[in-house]
Each structure stands twice: as structure tokens, then as C-alpha cells.
């Protein structure tokens, strides 16, 4: 009884969490589109002189306002500020540095409130002296590496999503983390891992939905029908076993075992102690994570076959469950892959894996960054080459801090631009292996996570006569990559005319040979 209550409760809870994620989306709109009628109305009534995050419940609050406040922490955890002029962001309360929790509390007698107070008089750079006097060295250095822009407002972005836009999926997981009951409950750890694995998987939606139903035991097996008072007397249509339940159909029935035996999962179905559906999912996630998607497909296939049997619809022509499942899976993944590639149309050199020389009028500058997750350090590197593949100049330096690989890549491009401008080149192609960055630059869609730096790159690009953005796969960007990696091991800035650091030489030669266009 306890078990069924738990299972029912989990399904209900799932909907509850999803509902909270949707509410968070409304709040996100309220904050990021403050000029809408709804936003202005709520602000006038509940937080006329503060931000949403400082708003109180107020006198006789409406139902919707109560609901909004109930997801305040979820939204707070999901978003982060990109600093522009620093006027909208509170140093101590808002989330704008990765080590946010280490910034506060505000010291006594400190008159720094907004980030603007940490900038110099002109507002175009940090007041470093002040930074190092206020914060531990590590944090001060991180802040000093943040890009500021006095001509831009600060921008709030959803930092759980690469493009900075709100994502329901990530809000769902934040809601899940915030659900203390779930975390306290030992069984719930499994369900968190399970949901992550299901959401992430590249399988058709109907299979995900089936997994959700199976996890919650919302499938009409014979014992479920009986427990709802439907007096079904038939037995397993495959083996005649009288107690047909989900575990039997999926793992214990001889017809299921035959299917599993043709896969590479061993006799996992006989794992000691694995009793319910959750247990078997855990066995696969722990021991055969690479097979997880196939595993889900086969479960769905077994259930589909069982239903056909049950309703007498089997026509004898259907193939083996695991083969059909694998074909559907690979078709689906191919289709999805195609979707990703076709959505990058309009970007120069989309499919290139080798370095291709530019035309005679342009020079091509390949940029790359090598980023260390733990320290946030980023090695930046670039190499400029002409029509003949001759190296014009190259550079490498260590950037003390970048908050993400994307920011590191953008810093590499920005640095390369400064050098290209200084040398007076007017027709340039900047090439990187960050598809996300190239797409955004090409379409001039600001990446909120790096908004200030991004705008700076765009505005500098205007200084060239012709400036193009180009994407190349990593294999084609090896020269820049090896130069960037070098910076992580030797922290000196190196600028070379007419050559690259020796570690990158091997790649230069290789790619001039392998580029065979025109």
C-alpha cells in the first residue's frame, strides 16, 4: 500500500514540478519584459521601488502573485547577470560572479552597493585597487577578468542554458533540487538520476512518455487491471504465467529474456535484489550507461509487442523486437542530426573538418581557447594565414579567468581582432570551432551570457572593410588549438611574426597539404 502510494505520488509530484517550471517561465517573462502590461501592473502593486527578487508578499496578495513568489528561489538560482554599465546589479545580493556565495555579506561602513561602484570614474573598467581591497585575491582577479561596457545596460540571462534564454527543462531540475522531500527520500535520488537520464536521451518522445508511465506503473498490465477491480482472468499471453505485471513482461517472462539474450547486457534480468522496475533501470544506468537508449527502446518494443499479442493483432510478420527497436532509434537519431546541421545554414564553411585557405583578398584568422573547468583559466590562441597558407602572425596568452568555454572562445576572437586591427588588415575571416558563437555572430543575435563582450566584438568588426565569421570543426582548427593549449603551460604572452610556436608547426604543414580547394 505504501509502495503504491509512493508511486502514485511521484507521478503527481512530477506534474507539480512541471507546473513550477512553467510558473518560473512566467516570472522570467515578468523580469525580462518589464514593459508589458502584466509586468507593469504587478510591479506597481507589489514592488514599486524594488526588484522582483526583493519583493514581499504584500497585503491581500492575489493567487497569481502568491504563485510567482513561490518560485522566486528557482528563478534566482537559474539566472545570472552579465555586466554592462553595472548600474542594475547589486554587488552583494545579485548573482553575477561564479563564486557568488563568497562575496557577501557586505562589510560594515562599506558604501559599495551596485557594481557601478566598483568601476573607475569613466565606468569603462574596473577600479582594481578597490577590488583587491574588498575581496579575496582569487575573487578580485575573477571579477577583473569580467568584461564591462559603459554603453550597455546590464543583462539578466538564464545561465542554465547556453544561449541564455529560459529553458523549462532546466527550471524543472531546479524545482526538483528545491523539492526537499525528494532529496530527503532515499528512493528519490534514483528518480532524479532516472529523470535526468530520460530527459537527456536521444529517443523518440513516445518512448520517453512510455518510460514515464512505466516508472509510475501507469501501464495496464493484468495485475494493474485486477487491482482496479477489472476482473481480468487471462494470463501472460507469451508464457501462460498467471501474475502478469510490468516486471514480468519486461524482464522475467521467457519471451523477454530471449530478446535480452540477443543484446549485450548479459543476464542483467537475473540481478540479485532487483525486484521492481526502478531497480532494473538502476542496474542499466550503473552498469551499461552506454546502452541506456537502446534499453529504453527495447522496453518500449516489448510493451508494444505485448499489446499486439494481448489484443490478438500479431500478424506474424514483425521482426525481432531488439532489431526493430534499434532501427527506429538510429533513424530517429539520424533525423535529429540532420535537423541540427540544417539549422546552421547560412554559416560559412559549415561542414569543414580541414583547414581551407581563404581567397586572395582575405586573410583568415583561426582562433581557439583551451579552458580549464576547475580553475577557469583559459589559454587563448590565434593564427593568421593568407591565400597561400603562409602564416602572417600568431599569438598566445593566458587569460586568468573565463566563466565558461563560450566566454573563453569569445575572448580569443576578441583578442585576435585587436591584433588584426592593429596590423591594418581590412578583409578578414575569423574562424573558430564554436558553432554557437559563429551562428550568433553571423545572425547578430546577442548571446546573453557574454552580452557585453559579444557587442564589443560586433562593434569592432565594423572597423574592418569586410569581416566574415566562419565555423570549422575541431579537426580543422588544430593549429589554433595547439597554440591556445600552450598558454596553459607557459603563462607568457607570445606574439610571432611569420611563424607559429614550434608545438603547432606540425599542424600548419599538415593542413596546407590537405586543403585542396580551387
The x, y and z cell numbers of residue 53, run together, are 527578487
Is 306 among the residues that bind Zn ion (CB under 5 A)?
no
228: left (phi over 0), alpha (psi -120 to 50) or beta: alpha
Q: Which stretch binds Zn ion (CB under 5 A): 200-208, 240-248, 327-335, 463-471?
A: 240-248
Count of CA atoms in the C-beta half-sphere (13 A) of 176: 19
> Judging by beta carbons within 10 Å of its beta carbon (0-12, 13-18, 19+), is residue 361 exposed, middle or buried?
exposed
Residue 238 or 439: the one with the smaller Cβ distance to Zn ion is 238
Cα 335 to Cα 165: distance, rounded to the nearest angstrom: 25
Burial class (CB in 10 A: 0-12, 13-18, 19+), 53: middle
**Which range in 121-129, 251-259, 293-301, 453-461 contacts Zn ion by CB under 5 A?**
251-259
Closest CA to 476 of 437, 511, 502, 434: 511
Q: Which is nearer to Zn ion, 100 or 257 (CB)?
A: 257
Q: Is the peptide bond before 408 cis (omega within 30 degrees of 0)?
A: no
Q: Which segments within 419-479 are labelled E, that is strand?
A: 427-432, 466-471
| Beta strands 466-471 and 427-432, pairing class | parallel
The region of 36-44, 235-243, 444-452, 504-512 touching Zn ion under the rule CB under 5 A is 235-243
Tell me the closest approach of the beta carbon of residue 244 to Zn ion, in angstroms. Answer: 7
Count CA atoms within 13 Å of residue 116 on its CB side.
Answer: 13
Contact 447, 453 (CB under 8 A): no
Q: Check binding of 238 to Zn ion (CB under 5 A).
A: yes
Task: Between 239 and 285, name the residue whose CB sits nearer to Zn ion.
Answer: 239
Q: Which stretch binds Zn ion (CB under 5 A): 233-241, 278-286, 333-341, 390-398?
A: 233-241
**Which CB sits closer to Zn ion, 23 or 222?**
222
Which of the stretches 120-128, 168-176, 237-245, 356-364 binds Zn ion when contact is defined by CB under 5 A? 237-245
Distance of closest approach, residue 270 Cβ to Zn ion, in angstroms: 15
Q: In angstroms, what is the minimal distance from the CB of 328 to Zn ion?
A: 24
CB of 234 to Zn ion, least distance (A): 12
Q: Let me know the angle formed at the C-alpha of 168 by 163 and 170, rounded to the nearest 5 degrees.
A: 70
Residue 215: CB minimum distance to Zn ion, A: 21
CB of 482 to Zn ion, least distance (A): 58
CB of 196 to Zn ion, least distance (A): 31
- DSSP per-residue codes, 363-386: EEEEEEEEE-TTT--EEEEEEEE-
Minimum Å gap between C-beta 238 and Zn ion is: 4
User: Cβ of residue 260: shortest distance to Zn ion, in angstroms?
Assistant: 13
Candidates 246, 299, 216; CA nearest to 7 is 216
Selected from 148, 236, 391, 453, the binder of Zn ion by CB under 5 A is 236
* Residue in this structure with the C-alpha cell 574596473, named with its chain if needed: 126
Binding segment for Zn ion (CB under 5 A), chosen from 121-129, 176-184, 229-237, 472-480, is 229-237
The CB-of-236 to Zn ion minimum distance in angstroms stands at: 3
| Binding region for Zn ion (CB under 5 A) out of 131-139, 222-230, 250-258, 335-343 | 250-258
Cβ within 8 Å of residue 142, ≥6 positions away = 97, 98, 99, 376, 400, 401
For position 246 contacting Zn ion by CB under 5 A, the verdict is: no
Residue 253 makes contact with Zn ion by CB under 5 A:
yes
CB nearer Zn ion, residue 13 or residue 238: 238
Binding of Zn ion at residue 305 (CB under 5 A)?
Answer: no
**Dihedral sign, CA of 28, 32, 36, 37?**
positive
Neighbouring C-beta atoms of residue 266, cutoff 10 Å: 12
| # binding residues, Zn ion (CB under 5 A) | 5
> What's the rounded Cα separation, in Å, for the pair 38 and 42?
6
Nearer to Zn ion, 147 or 251 (CB): 251
Interface with Zn ion, residue 239, by CB under 5 A: yes
Q: Shortest Cβ distance from residue 245 to Zn ion (Å)?
A: 10
Cβ pair 329, 293 in contact under 8 A = yes
Q: Which stretch binds Zn ion (CB under 5 A): 123-131, 248-256, 332-340, 454-462?
A: 248-256
- Residue from 117, 223, 241, 291 touching Zn ion (CB under 5 A): that is 241
Which residues contact Zn ion by CB under 5 A? 236, 238-239, 241, 253
Amino acid at each position: 500500500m505504501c509502495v503504491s502510494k509512493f508511486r502514485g505520488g511521484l507521478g503527481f509530484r512530477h506534474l507539480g514540478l512541471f507546473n513550477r517550471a512553467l510558473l518560473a517561465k512566467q516570472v522570467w517573462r515578468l523580469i525580462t519584459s518589464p514593459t508589458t502590461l502584466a509586468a507593469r501592473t504587478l510591479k506597481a502593486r507589489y514592488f514599486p521601488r524594488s526588484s522582483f527578487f526583493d519583493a514581499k508578499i504584500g497585503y491581500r496578495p492575489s493567487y497569481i502573485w502568491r504563485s510567482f513568489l513561490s518560485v522566486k528561489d528557482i528563478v534566482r538560482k537559474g539566472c545570472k547577470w552579465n555586466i554592462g554599465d553595472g548600474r542594475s546589479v547589486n554587488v552583494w545580493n545579485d548573482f553575477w560572479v561564479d563564486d557568488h556565495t563568497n562575496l557577501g555579506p557586505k562589510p560594515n561602513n562599506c558604501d559599495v552597493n551596485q557594481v557601478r561602484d566598483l568601476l573607475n570614474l569613466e565606468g569603462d573598467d574596473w577600479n582594481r585597487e578597490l577590488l583587491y581591497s574588498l575581496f579575496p585575491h582569487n575573487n578580485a582577479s575573477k571579477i577583473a577578468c569580467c568584461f564591462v561596457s559603459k554603453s550597455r545596460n546590464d543583462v539578466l540571462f538564464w545561465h542554465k542554458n547556453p544561449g541564455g534564454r529560459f529553458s523549462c527543462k532546466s527550471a524543472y531540475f531546479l524545482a526538483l533540487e528545491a523539492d526537499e522531500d525528494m532529496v530527503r527520500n532515499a528512493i528519490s535520488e534514483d528518480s532524479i538520476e532516472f529523470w535526468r537520464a530520460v530527459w537527456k536521451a536521444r529517443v523518440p518522445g513516445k518512448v520517453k512518455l512510455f518510460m514515464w508511465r512505466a516508472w509510475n506503473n501507469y501501464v495496464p498490465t493484468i495485475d494493474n487491471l485486477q487491482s482496479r477491480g477489472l476482473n481480468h482472468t487471462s494470463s501472460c499471453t507469451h508464457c501462460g504465467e498467471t501474475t502478469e505485471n510490468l516486471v514480468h513482461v519486461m524482464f522475467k517472462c521467457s519471451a523477454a529474456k530471449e530478446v535480452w539474450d540477443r543484446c549485450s547486457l548479459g543476464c542483467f534480468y537475473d540481478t540479485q535484489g532487483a525486484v521492481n522496475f526502478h531497480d532494473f533501470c538502476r542496474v542499466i544506468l550503473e552498469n551499461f550507461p552506454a546502452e541506456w537508449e537502446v534499453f529504453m527502446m527495447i522496453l518500449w518494443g516489448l510493451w508494444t509487442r505485448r499489446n499486439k499479442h494481448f489484443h490478438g493483432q500479431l500478424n506474424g510478420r514483425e521482426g525481432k523486437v531488439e532489431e526493430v527497436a534499434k532501427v527506429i532509434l538510429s533513424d530517429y537519431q539520424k533525423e535529429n542530426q540532420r535537423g541540427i546541421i540544417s539549422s546552421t545554414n547560412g554559416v560559412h564553411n559549415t561542414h569543414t573538418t580541414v583547414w581551407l585557405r581563404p581567397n586572395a583578398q582575405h586573410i583568415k584568422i583561426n582562433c581557439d581557447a583551451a579552458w580549464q573547468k576547475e580553475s577557469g583559466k583559459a589559454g587563448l590562441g590565434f593564427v593568421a594565414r593568407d591565400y597561400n597558407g603562409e602564416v602572417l602572425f600568431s599569438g598566445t596568452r593566458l587569460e586568468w579567468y573565463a566563466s565558461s568555454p563560450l566566454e573563453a572562445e569569445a575572448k580569443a576572437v576578441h583578442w585576435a581582432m585587436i591584433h588584426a586591427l592593429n596590423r591594418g588588415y581590412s578583409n578578414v575571416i575569423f574562424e573558430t570551432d564554436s558553432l554557437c558563437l559563429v551562428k550568433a555572430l553571423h545572425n547578430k543575435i546577442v548571446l546573453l551570457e557574454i552580452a557585453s563582450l559579444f557587442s564589443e566584438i560586433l562593434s569592432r568588426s565594423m572597423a574592418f572593410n569586410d569581416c566574415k565569421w566562419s565555423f570549422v570543426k575541431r579537426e580543422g582548427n588544430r593549429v589554433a588549438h595547439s597554440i591556445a593549449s600552450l598558454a596553459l603551460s607557459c603563462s607568457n604572452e607570445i606574439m610571432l611574426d611569420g611563424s607559429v610556436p614550434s608545438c603547432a608547426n606540425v599542424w600548419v604543414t599538415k593542413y596546407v597539404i590537405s586543403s585542396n580547394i580551387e
